[in-house]
Structure 1
Amino acid sequence: MVTPEELADGLDRVGYLPDPGLATAAHLALAMHRPLFCEGEPGTGKTSLAHALARALDLPLVRLQCHEGIDASQALYDWDFPRQLLHLRALEAAGPVDAEAAEASLYTRRFLLARPLLEALERAPCVLLVDEVDRADDEFEAFLLEVLDENAVTIPELGRVAAATPPLVVLTSNRTREVHDALKRRCLYHWLEHPDLAREVAILRRRLPGLTGRLAGQVAAAARRLRELDLLKPPGVAESLDWAAALLALGREELDAEAAAVTLGAVLKYREDVQRALSAGVAGR
C-alpha cells in the first residue's frame, strides 16, 4: 500500500498537484476501502482527482454522471430490448418454440447492458467516479448507498454480482443541495478549496510548459480576483488553464488590460460576468 506521500508523488507525475490533506484523504480511501466524498465549488479539481487517481494507480476509470431523474436502470443495468426482440423473432422463424424456454433465453448475460455501477463491480479493481451526486434525488441516494455498502448487486435473472476487490469510489458534489447524512457517513469527506496562488501557478506551468512564470502568476492572480467578485460562475482552475492557453495561442507575454479584454471569453461564460469583470478592472491590474 502506498503512503500519502507516495500517492501525492504519483498524482504529481500525472499532472495533478494535491495538497497534503487531499493526498491523505485519498490514501485513507484506498487503505480503508471507503468511498471518498469530495465537495466544493465548481472548478476546484474534484472530477479531475478521480481521473488522476486512475492514471496514477494504473486503474481503469468508470464514470457515472448523475442528473435529475437518474434511476437504477441508468446507473446499474438494463436489458437490450431491441436485441431481445430480434432474438425472439429469430426463434419464431425457426419453428415452434417452447414459451418458457424462449423467455429464459431472453434474460442471459448476452442481452444485459452493464451501466457504470455494474461495470465498476465487474471491472474492479478500478476507480469509480460518481460525479455530481447532488444532482440526483433522494431515492437514488438510497439506492447508491445500498450498492456501496455491499459492493455487490443482485440481478434477479442472473444472480449476485460482487466485486472481488472494492472499487475506489470518488463521489463529487458542487453542493447545489445537501446530500443526506446517511451517504456521507458511509464516506470519507474532503472539502476542496480553490488552490492558493503558488499552487495555481504551479498547476498552470505544469499543464502548459510554454507558460512563463510571469504570465502564469498574472493569470493566477487575476483568476483569484475574479473569484472575489459576485459572478454567476466564478472561474475554476480549468478556466485559468483555458485563459493561459488562449494568451499563449495569441503570442501574448503579459496579461495587460487589452489582452484581458479580448480573452475574457476563455475564462468567463456569461455576458454579465464579463461586463462585471471589465467594469471592475480585475484583469490587467
Structure 2
Amino acid sequence: MACASSFRHAGGVTDRPADPAASPAALAAALRSTGYLADDGLATATFLAMRMNRPLFCEGEPGTGKTALAQALAQVLGAKLIRLQCHDGIDASQALYDWDFPRQLLHLRALEATAGSGTLDTDAVEASLYDPRFLLARPILEALQTAPSVLLIDEIDRADDEFEAFLLEVLTEHAVTIPEIGEVRATTPPLVVLTSNRTREVHDALKRRCLYLWLDHPDLQREIEILHSRLPGIPERLAAQVAGAVRALRQADLLKPPGVAETIDWARALQLVGASHLDVDSAAATLGAVLKYREDADRVRKQLDSLLAS
C-alpha cells in the first residue's frame, strides 16, 4: 500500500539527485524535491518500473496522487509528459494518429494547379499526400517518437475492452504500424504510467504487462506534511485541523470523498479568508473548496460540530 502527495513547490526543483533512477531512495528524494512525497512502497515500485522498462499500473481512489506521479516523474527525469485521457468510446485513432485532411486537400489542389493541363502521376500524388508532414501524432505515437518521455494513460478503466487490447499490443512491442508509412518503433521506449479509479476491473492480460501499485490516501501525518510542503507558512494548528477534518470526511458516506487536491484547496481557502484555525463558521463558508456535490455539502453542514470535534 502506498500513498503520496500530488503537488509541487512553486519554486521548482531544487537539490535534484544526479540520477533519480539510481535507487528507490534517490527516486524518493527526487520526487520530494518536486513536492511529491512518496513512501517507500511507491518509490520502490516506480524505481522498478523504470529499471525494468515496464509500465506502472496505478490503481486507487480519486485524489490519491496517481496522475500527479506521472507529472512528477516527467519533471525529475527531464522528460516530456504526454497524456492520453481515456473516456467512453475512445478508439485507436484518437490515441494513435490521424491525417491532416484539410492540409492534404490544399496540397492536392496545389499539385493540380501546378500541373495545369498536364496529367498527374497518380502514384506520386498519392505518395505525396501521405507524407509524414501531414501526419497528426496523437499521444501514443507522439510518445513513441519522443525521447525521453513519460506517457500517462489516465483512467484506463473508462475505456472499453477493444481499446485495452490495442494498448496491450503497443505496450508490448513499443511500436505501431501506419499502413501508409510503415512501422514506427520507439528508439527509447517511454516510461508508461497507467491510472485507474477502479470503476471497472481492467483485464488481467493488461495488468500482467505492468508493475502494479495501489495508492491510498495519505495518513494524517503525511497529509499534514503535504500541506506544509504545498503551503509554506501555514499554521501548524490549521494544517492539523484541516488534515484531520478531511480524514473524517473520507470516512463519511459521501458521494465524492475529498482527495489531496481538495485538502490543499480547503487549507488555501481558509488562509485567504483569514482563518487561523478551523471552526464551524470558517468551515461552513469554505466547504465548496473540499466538497463538490450539494448533497455532500448539505449533509456535512448539519454535522460540522461533531466533525470538527472528532
Q: TM-score range by the shorter chain?
A: over 0.9
Please give the per-residue CA displacement for 1:175-213, whole angstroms capped at 9, x wherever unaligned: 011100000000000100000000000011101112111
- The reply to whether residue 248 of structure 1 matches residue 271 of structure 2 is yes
Measured after TM superposition, the shift of residue 98 of structure 1 is 1.8
- The reply to whether residue 184 of structure 1 matches residue 204 of structure 2 is no
- The reply to whether residue 120 of structure 1 matches residue 158 of structure 2 is no
Q: Structure 2 residue aligned with 1:171, among 194, 197, 202?
A: 194
Counterpart CA distance in 2 for 1:213 and 1:60 is 36
Please give the per-residue CA displacement for 1:44-101, whole angstroms capped at 9, x wherever unaligned: 0000000011111111111110011111111011100111111111111122322221
Amino acid at match of 1:170: V
1:69 equivalent in structure 2: 89
Amino acid at match of 1:141: E
1:228 equivalent in structure 2: 251
Counterpart CA distance in 1 for 2:132 and 2:256 is 45
**Normalised by the size of structure 1, how large is the TM-score?**
0.98
Measured after TM superposition, the shift of residue 283 of structure 1 is 4.5
Q: Which one is further off, 22-31 or 206-215?
A: 206-215
| 8 Å Cα contact 1:66/1:131 also seen in 2 | yes
Measured after TM superposition, the shift of residue 18 of structure 1 is 0.7
Measured after TM superposition, the shift of residue 166 of structure 1 is 1.4
Counterpart CA distance in 2 for 1:228 and 1:8 is 29
Counterpart CA distance in 1 for 2:145 and 2:170 is 13
Counterpart CA distance in 2 for 1:233 and 1:161 is 42
1:207 equivalent in structure 2: 230
Distance 1:46-1:39 versus aligned 2 partners, 3 A rule: same
Instruction: Give runs of aligned pairs for residues 1-285 of structure 1, distance below 5 A.
Output: 1-94=21-114, 95=116, 96=118, 97-281=120-304, 283-285=307-309
Counterpart CA distance in 2 for 1:28 and 1:169 is 12
Amino acid at match of 2:271: L
Measured after TM superposition, the shift of residue 284 of structure 1 is 3.1
Counterpart CA distance in 2 for 1:271 and 1:284 is 20
Amino acid at match of 1:193: D
- Give 3-state SS (helix, strand or coil) of 2:308's partner: coil
Measured after TM superposition, the shift of residue 125 of structure 1 is 2.1
Counterpart CA distance in 1 for 2:301 and 2:153 is 37
**Normalised by the size of structure 2, how large is the TM-score?**
0.90
Counterpart CA distance in 2 for 1:111 and 1:266 is 44
- Give 3-state SS (helix, strand or coil) of 1:52's partner: helix
Measured after TM superposition, the shift of residue 223 of structure 1 is 0.3
Counterpart CA distance in 2 for 1:183 and 1:175 is 14
Structure 2 unaligned spans of 5+: 1-20
| 8 Å Cα contact 1:76/1:116 also seen in 2 | yes
Measured after TM superposition, the shift of residue 124 of structure 1 is 2.4
Counterpart CA distance in 2 for 1:86 and 1:165 is 35
| 8 Å Cα contact 1:39/1:172 also seen in 2 | yes
Amino acid at match of 1:43: G
Counterpart CA distance in 1 for 2:28 and 2:238 is 26
Structure 1 unaligned spans of 5+: none
Please give the per-residue CA displacement for 1:195-252, whole angstroms capped at 9, x wherever unaligned: 0000000011101112111111100000000001111110000000100010111111
| 8 Å Cα contact 1:255/1:283 also seen in 2 | no
Paired residues in the alignment total 285
Measured after TM superposition, the shift of residue 126 of structure 1 is 1.2
- Give 3-state SS (helix, strand or coil) of 2:285's partner: helix
Counterpart CA distance in 2 for 1:16 and 1:120 is 23
Identity of counterpart residues, as a percentage?
Answer: 70
Q: Which one is further off, 195-204 or 90-99?
A: 90-99
